[in-house]
Amino acid sequence: MRISKLPSSVRQFCTHVLAIALGVMLTVSSLQVLPSQAEPAPTTTASDAPELIAQRQSPANAAIGSSSFVTAAVNRVGTAVVRIDTERTITRRVDPFFEDPLFRRFFGEGLPQQMPSEQLRGLGSGFIIDKSGLVLTNAHVVDKADKVTVRLKDGRTFEGKVQGIDEVTDLAVVKINAGNDLPVAPLGSSNNVQVGDWAIAVGNPLGFDNTVTLGIVSTLKRSSAQVGIIDKRLEFIQTDAAINPGNSGGPLLNGRGEVIGINTAIRPDAMGIGFAIPIDKAKVIATQLQRDGKVAHPYLGVQMLTLTPQLAKQNNTDPNSPIQIPEVNGVLVMRVIPNSPAATAGMRRGDVIVQIDGRPITTAEQLQNIVEDSRLGQTLQVKVQRGNQTQQLSVRTAELQNAS
């Protein structure tokens, strides 16, 4: 029935009810569009903590906005990240078999003494730390290279001169002459990094320039011995951000776009396990490399192993064990390097280092850090357990000449 055919009084009543109903519908419709006052829409201000901004713009929510915190971080540092190409010429000698006099008697003396030279090419990453053109990278990226070429993100290439290399910390500084107004990567502090923080890796993995990967900080202070690089003195930042060959020397960033580490190593038998040198350590080494071209590292001259009473007991109950070891916590001396400070001081294989300068020693990493932080020529008072006796040795540190 249409309203127009109803009596006037009824039509007025129906019209009034319809108006009320439409008003209710419009009000409900409006509540679905406007934000609730009890839960206001999030806003971002300059005073917001970066961690809060990162939380709001996490990967799960990144598609909501026009960009993410990763974009902002990469834009802050991206132009300062460089690609490093290296060339090295090697000449291989003839196999010693062909140099045997008996062989040459039958086949003549016309055989070559050397094989044709071979060009080895390498690829890595780095980042600019000074407007004058100083680039920080890994030592293994540029070590023994005959030619170093640095390519900026804008496509310009420059010949790089290696100013200094430190094999012990796997760091190197390269200089390019490209004016005095180059972009510089903002350096953060690795001391403020916590497990679970965002980790952004930037570099040139496998030749794919300007690649960005995202993960978190998996753990801190992972020793070089645990990583499997026994000739280094480092405590790495471990991350699950994808790192591949070619990433070496590139920056690891936090959520604010600050460099917190230098991507250095991966575990080939694993996925999502990469390692970066903490930037605070790199700052100290880079300064010394700029000034002196090298870094002097003190050493004692022992090969060592963390010892526990359980390990010692296991050794001592083995009838084939060559030596009996004190069943204590400490650092077992596996070998004493000839003519080293430890050898001069009278240290022996099988000694267990339990104290240095009055500080208890329980791990090989702890001992290594104490020695690394000492001065060249400093005399350390080393307490060792030798069988059932305790010995006090005075060991004067010397400069490490070969990391291996």
Q: Tell me which residues are annotated as active site.
A: 140, 170, 248
CA 260 – CA 191 distance, rounded (Å): 9
CB of 250 closer than 8 Å to CB of 262: yes
CA 157 – CA 175 distance, rounded (Å): 13
3-state helix, strand, coil in the chain (%, to 5): 30, 35, 40
CB of 186 closer than 8 Å to CB of 254: no
Q: Give me the residues paired with residue 243 across strands.
A: none
CA 70 – CA 324 distance, rounded (Å): 56
Nearest to residue 57, comparing CAs of 46, 47, 71? 71
DSSP 63-132: GGSSS-HHHHHHHHHGGGEEEEEEEEEEEEEPPGGGG-HHHHHHH-S-S-SEEEEEEEEEEEEEEEEETT
First to last CA, the chain: 99
CB of 125 closer than 8 Å to CB of 84: yes
CA 304 – CA 350 distance, rounded (Å): 10
Helices marked H in 234-318 — which ranges? 279-292, 309-316
| Local structure of 348: helix, strand or coil | coil
Half-sphere exposure (CA, 13 Å, Cβ side) for 59?
Answer: 7
